[in-house]
Amino acid sequence: MKTEYLNIDKIFPDKDQPRKKTGFEKEEIQELANSIKEVGIIVPLLIQENGMLIDGERRWRASKLLGLKKVPVVYNDNLTDITRLEYQLIASLNATSCAEEEIAPKIKEYIDKSGFSERLAASRLGKSQGYIQRMINQLADLSKEEKSAIKLWRETKGEKGIAPSNLAEIKQQHPDKVEDFIEQAKEEVVTRSEIRNVAKEKAAEKAIQEHKEAYEEAVKSKDSEIKIIRSGEILQNVREEIINTTRELDRFFYKVKVVRFGKLTWSNNKEQKSFSIFVGDALKKAKLWVSVLEKIKSEVEYEN
């Protein structure tokens, strides 16, 4: 394809292109304009015969900002609506300022219109199938609140809000916690470690519940399972758990004493909230332990 120079006023953007906001901020366009002023436009704009941009809107905007009259272009009129969208998606997905929440609906549209499978679409777009699935399942249809959380993350440069990839992980791993995390995002950024801590807490709660259910099942049976509970190996495990729990309690009381009597001041809201969550988790575990131990005590007293 031959490069030509075209009057910049004859070029116009595609209103249906995937990216509409991110990458077009005033500061970013100014930075690109500064670069073009120094070295020129290295990659020509890709346009259709009628002047509509297929790829290169940021370069076009920066050139207009500089007051350039003509810009280098390459024509391509052999693109269907699907192949044009495909080309634009590839360009957007490889851009440094790719906004996943903007691209995701277009990926879904691309799959719906083309009839491609997720695997084929992923191959053509140069992404993994898992990435494409995450985009269309967790980011293609966001609620107003979810969009606001991402917008806050962008506006505060990661000081508050939720990054798109983190929101997708929350929706996939903890759909019941989405609203809680959105509320948290109004005060502080939601980090990936916090998201994964929820999984650890759930795993711990599940383990406690499983132990509790196993115990209750064993109590119902007066034969082999009761004998197992009375065996030396299990008794040793119980002793070890009691020792470990005692150590955990000692560490917990130490932390509480530091907070209550050490005249500790919080460096930020996140630190204070983290400790509050820590105490809340400890209380939940303590209540579960009390419930289990009371049942054990009543069973032992009943047998005696």
Tokens of 276: 């509050």
Q: How far apart are CA 62 and CA 40, in angstroms?
A: 11
Count of beta carbons in the 10 Å neighbourhood of residue 174: 16
Residue the block writes with tokens 């004998």: 227
70 — pLDDT class (breaks 50, 70, 90): very high
Q: How far apart are CA 53 and CA 15, in angstroms?
A: 9
45 — pLDDT class (breaks 50, 70, 90): very high
Q: What is the pLDDT of residue 62?
A: 93
Average pLDDT, the chain: 81
Count of beta carbons in the 10 Å neighbourhood of residue 252: 15
**Nearest by Cα to 61 from 36, 87, 82, 95:** 36
Q: What is the pLDDT of residue 295?
A: 75
235 — pLDDT class (breaks 50, 70, 90): low
pLDDT digit string, tens, across residues 79-96: 888 988 998 898 888 876
Q: Would you say residue 73 has pLDDT above 90?
A: yes
pLDDT digit string, tens, across residues 137-151: 888 888 999 989 998
Q: How far apart are CA 43 and CA 59, in angstroms?
A: 9
User: Residue 304 in 3-state DSSP?
Assistant: coil
pLDDT digit string, tens, across residues 215-233: 677 666 655 555 555 555 6
pLDDT digit string, tens, across residues 111-136: 999 999 999 999 999 999 998 998 88
Lowest mean pLDDT among 166-175, 215-224, 284-293: 215-224
Tokens of 111: 């799959």
Count of beta carbons in the 10 Å neighbourhood of residue 47: 25
User: Residue 53 in 3-state DSSP?
Assistant: strand
pTM above 0.75, yes or no: no
Give bridge partners of residue 71 from the DSSP assignment: 6
Q: What is the pLDDT of residue 212?
A: 72
Q: What is the mean pLDDT of residues 31-36?
A: 91
Q: What is the pLDDT of residue 124?
A: 93
pLDDT digit string, tens, across residues 2-22: 889 999 999 999 888 887 766
Q: Which amino acid is at 222?
A: K
Task: Please give the DSSP secondary-structure letter assigned to residue 52.
Answer: B
Q: How far apart are CA 299 and CA 226, in angstroms?
A: 12
User: Residue 262 in 3-state DSSP?
Assistant: coil
What does R_g of the chain's alpha carbons equal in angstroms?
A: 29
pLDDT digit string, tens, across residues 149-158: 998 998 898 8
